[in-house]
Amino acid sequence: MTKRRHARRRAPRGARRAGRPLVFGLAALLAAALAAIGWLMIVYPGREGPGRGREVTLTIRPGAELDEVIAELERASIVRSPRAFGIYARLLGADERLREGEVLLTDDMSPRDVVQRIAAGFGSATVRVTIPEGFHRFAVAARLERWGVCLADDFLAATEDQALLEELGIDGPTAEGYLFPDTYRLPEGLGGPEAVRRLVANWRRRVEPLMLRERLDPLEDLLGWSAHEVLILASIVEKEAVVSEERPVIARVFMNRLSDPEFRPKRLQADPTVSYGCLTAPERAPSCADFDGRRILRVMLQDRANLYNTYRHEGLPPGPICNPGLESIRAVLDAPDHDYLYFVARGHGRHSFSATLEEHNAAVARYRQGQR
């Protein structure tokens, strides 16, 4: 019995060769698509935005479509490529979870952070928060709440928490003065205590290297001051000085008032201390009832119940009145010797300095005459 052999049918050689480019082409397209998706989901989300940190408030209306929001982001220069951002946001499903109302952004935010700010359910965004020099803790608290880092009340409570202050080594009634003014990248929902810890940790990195013994010893010999008292005066200088070169001069004026044996009573007579007393303990001083946060009334200057009123209390106030920058701290540590005891504003942020009350009164008269 013979066996039949069935021969395999093979495609013609020319047809096989013609099919190879198609397979290779499809493979290349697939590889390119996977690479594009990989870049879009891994590399692209972490890229910084096109700007330098400018704040932008975006309003998302109820029922808004993603394309509408992206158009607003493009107009505000928040995203570099609207098309890439749209694909990325849709791959995540952000188009179905858009927030409503006002959303605060900066133009240097990464696409990932932008999505987290405009849509719910994608984790906490990292926000860029700038704390300017001279901000007191109440202003810091308001700014952190505005960015969603923590509630203002929680932050203020943390600045007064004695256990936390002891943990951070702060020798004062609050963390005022130790909340270093700088630009921070903080996660949403960080919480008040942790926000205080981060700002104080930055203070230690930036300020403690300035507090050298050779700088502190002369102030300890002259006034019995430690680093904390330096910080208190620096906070007053921060509020009083406008022009940089006047900061050390103003610092020495206050130091002269406290150290000159003939200057009596030893009162700093600094307006910003009075207003801070009305911010931090308004219930203590009856004169603070009508304080609008800006204008200082004559009755406020006369109120001894305000413990920060340096028109009625001698020496330094109980604590810092704001968070000074490095320039004001250096101004106190390196204040030049001079015999000025008085100064008065003469316009454009500058002051006239005097060694005697007679010279000071004449300078005040000149200033008032120039205002007429």
Which residues fall within 8 angstroms of residue 40, CB to CB, at 6 or more apart? 84, 87, 88, 91
Q: At what angle do helices 227-240 and 326-333 cross, to 10 degrees?
A: 120
Boundary of a domain, candidates 182, 208, 234? 208
Shared domain for 234 and 353, answered yes or no, is yes
pLDDT at 346: 86
pLDDT at 26: 72
pLDDT at 371: 61
Boundary of a domain, candidates 107, 123, 139? 123
Q: In the predicted model, is pLDDT for residue 372 greater than 60?
A: no
Shared domain for 116 and 250, answered yes or no, is no
pLDDT at 42: 83
Please report, in angstroms and rounded to a whole number, the separation of the first and last CA atoms in the chain. Answer: 133
What value does the mean pLDDT take over residues 60-75?
A: 94
Shared domain for 104 and 232, answered yes or no, is no
Share of the chain above pLDDT 70, in %: 90
Kindly state whether residue 360 falls inside one of the protein's structural domains: yes
Shared domain for 235 and 359, answered yes or no, is yes
- Residue 350 pLDDT grade (very low, low, confident, very high; cuts 50, 70, 90): very high
Shared domain for 257 and 371, answered yes or no, is yes
- Residue 10 pLDDT grade (very low, low, confident, very high; cuts 50, 70, 90): low
Shared domain for 198 and 298, answered yes or no, is no
Q: pLDDT of 158-194, one tens digit each?
A: 999 999 999 999 988 999 999 999 999 999 999 999 9
Shared domain for 167 and 103, answered yes or no, is no
Kindly state whether residue 303 falls inside one of the protein's structural domains: yes
pTM for this structure?
Answer: 0.83
Peptide bond into 218 cis (omega under 30): no
Return d(Cα 172, Cα 151) in angstroms, integer. Answer: 23
Q: Between 224 and 290, name the one with better pLDDT.
A: 224
Kindly state whether residue 11 falls inside one of the protein's structural domains: no
Kindly state whether residue 37 falls inside one of the protein's structural domains: no
User: Beta strands of 40-115 (E only): which ranges?
Assistant: 55-60, 101-106
b/e for 179-208, b at 16 or more Cβ within 10 A?
A: bbbbebebbbebebbbbbbbbbebbeeebe
Cβ 157 vs Cβ 144: under 8 Å = no
Shared domain for 231 and 162, answered yes or no, is no
- Residue 43 pLDDT grade (very low, low, confident, very high; cuts 50, 70, 90): confident
Q: pLDDT of 255-289, one tens digit each?
A: 999 999 999 999 999 999 999 999 999 999 999 99
Kindly state whether residue 8 falls inside one of the protein's structural domains: no
Shared domain for 230 and 337, answered yes or no, is yes
Kindly state whether residue 35 falls inside one of the protein's structural domains: no
The CATH number covering residue 71 comes to 3.30.1490.480
pLDDT at 12: 61
What value does the mean pLDDT take over residues 112-134?
A: 91
Shared domain for 243 and 321, answered yes or no, is yes
What value does the mean pLDDT take over residues 295-312?
A: 94
**What residues make up the domain containing 138?**
128-208
pLDDT at 122: 86
Kindly state whether residue 30 falls inside one of the protein's structural domains: no
Q: How many structural domains comprise the chain?
A: 4
Q: Between 75 and 294, name the one with better pLDDT.
A: 75
Q: Between 152 and 48, name the one with better pLDDT.
A: 152
pLDDT at 46: 86
Return d(Cα 279, Cα 283) in angstroms, integer. Answer: 10
Shared domain for 134 and 199, answered yes or no, is yes
Mean pLDDT of the chain: 90
CA distance to 16, 151, 254, 292, per residue, from 11 (Å): 7, 74, 99, 92
Output phi, psi for 179, to 5 deg: -95, 85
Place of tokens 């502190």: 216
Kindly state whether residue 17 falls inside one of the protein's structural domains: no
Q: pLDDT of 233-250, one tens digit each?
A: 999 999 999 999 999 999
Shared domain for 271 and 308, answered yes or no, is yes
Lowest mean pLDDT among 79-83, 292-296, 310-314, 352-356: 292-296
